[in-house]
Amino acid sequence: MHPAKSVILFTVTSGAGYGLFIVLAVFALGGVPLAAGGAAAAVFAVGLGLVTAGLLSSTLHLANKKNAWRAFFRVRTSWLSREGLLAVAFYPPALVWGALLINGDGGGMLQTAAALATAAVALATLFSTGMIYACLRTIPQWRTPLTPVNYIALGVMSGALLALALCGDSPALRAFAIAALAAGGLCKLWYYRAIGRPGGPTVGDATGLKGGTVRLLDVGHSAGTFLTEEFGFRLPGTVSLALRAVFFALGIAAPAALLLGTDGGAGARWLAAVSAAAGLLVERYLFFSDARHVVNLYHGAPNTRAGR
């Protein structure tokens, strides 16, 4: 699949924003609030800014942007609609919770309810984003429970590093961030192992011809088409593997080394967050470029996992 830059930016920025609120809520519900007063205002501004910027960037790849509102009216059948409604539903509890923290509310029932609702909607939104891709039967690499699991794990990971950068160092938050890095790395390794297995639908499955090996004699065109450019895009195997190494180096290893090998200064914490964000941009690019649409079976690919 041809990677859409706007969708890459959307999923990375909004994922970090939702992850930040999930981490804030986890600590607040555990009795260890990470920010209050003016500090909470700054943290919530960054988180809401990332979520909003991501949502706005998600419309940039639409050919007719004024029809984006139609995505909200297919909730029964579309994960995209569910994600859109959840993204809008996220703002009320987040704004209420932020207002309570900024005004110095002492942790009453309303603040607990607002924190819980914010985290629940943020988690559901990340899950819905992953399911937009996991529900597609036309792309075997995405059609796995590991897709939403990775969206959640990497969102919480980037959110934890952002919380550490914004809220200051603490043993509990640092340990949480390191655990989130380990979980994100393991989930991604599991995903790469799963999509690297041979197999998938074949030309015989696409044509309905059984009983032997089916091959195309003619792909039906002599030049590139929209389908081959958008759905047939792929990186050479060596480039893809090199970029995976870049992701693990920037997104997982470097932040972990900074958190484990420094005294937790602001520079190291921010560098860890920025490095992870750069790694996630590479990871999300690979998420699209590694995908093989079944339409490629009609254009010469022997199966949907060929070419690696």
- 23-75 pLDDT tens trace: 999 999 988 888 888 888 999 999 999 999 988 887 776 666 666 667 777 78
Q: CA of 52: how far to CAs of 13, 88, 98, 176, 290, in Å?
A: 9, 10, 16, 26, 28
Q: Which of 44-48, 156-160, 208-212, 278-282 has the lowest mean pLDDT?
A: 208-212
SS3 assignment, position 198: coil
Q: Note the pLDDT of residue 66.
A: 67
Q: Of the ranges 73-77, 175-179, 211-215, which is most confident? A: 175-179
Q: Note the pLDDT of residue 62.
A: 67
For the chain, what is the radius of gyration of the CA atoms? 21
Question: What average pLDDT does this structure show over 284-300?
Answer: 83
Q: Which of 3-7, 37-41, 206-210 has the lowest mean pLDDT?
A: 206-210
In a domain, 167, yes or no: yes
Chain centroid to Cα 54, Å, comes to 11
In a domain, 107, yes or no: yes
What is the spatial distance between Cα 9 and Cα 174, in angstroms, rounded to a whole number? 26
For residue 142, the tally of other CB atoms under 10 A from its CB is 25
Number of domains in the chain: 1
Q: Note the pLDDT of residue 107.
A: 65
In a domain, 87, yes or no: yes
Using alpha carbons, select from 292, 298, 253, 260 the residue that is nearest to residue 276.
Answer: 253
- Above 90 in pLDDT, residue 191? yes
Confidence of residue 307 (pLDDT cuts 50, 70, 90): very low
Tokens 């007719």 found at? 64
Confidence of residue 94 (pLDDT cuts 50, 70, 90): very high
From the number of C-beta atoms within 10 Å of its C-beta (0-12, 13-18, 19+), residue 257 rates as middle
Confidence of residue 308 (pLDDT cuts 50, 70, 90): very low
Q: Which of 12-21, 115-124, 227-236, 282-291 has the lowest mean pLDDT?
A: 227-236
SS3 assignment, position 60: coil
In a domain, 286, yes or no: yes
Residue 39: give its domain's CATH number.
Answer: 1.20.1630.10
Q: Find the domain containing 295 and state its range.
A: 5-299
Q: Note the pLDDT of residue 196.
A: 83
Residues above pLDDT 90, as percent of the chain? 55
In a domain, 306, yes or no: no
Mean pLDDT across the chain, nearest whole number? 87
SS3 assignment, position 290: coil
In a domain, 308, yes or no: no
Q: Which pair of structure tokens corresponds to residue 159?
A: 């959110």
Q: Note the pLDDT of residue 306.
A: 45
In a domain, 35, yes or no: yes
Dihedral pair phi/psi, residue 54, rounded to 5°: -65, -45
In a domain, 304, yes or no: no
Q: Note the pLDDT of residue 65.
A: 65
SS3 assignment, position 303: strand
Tokens 């339409």 found at? 295
Q: Note the pLDDT of residue 27.
A: 94
What is the spatial distance between Cα 42 and Cα 14, in angstroms, rounded to a whole number? 17
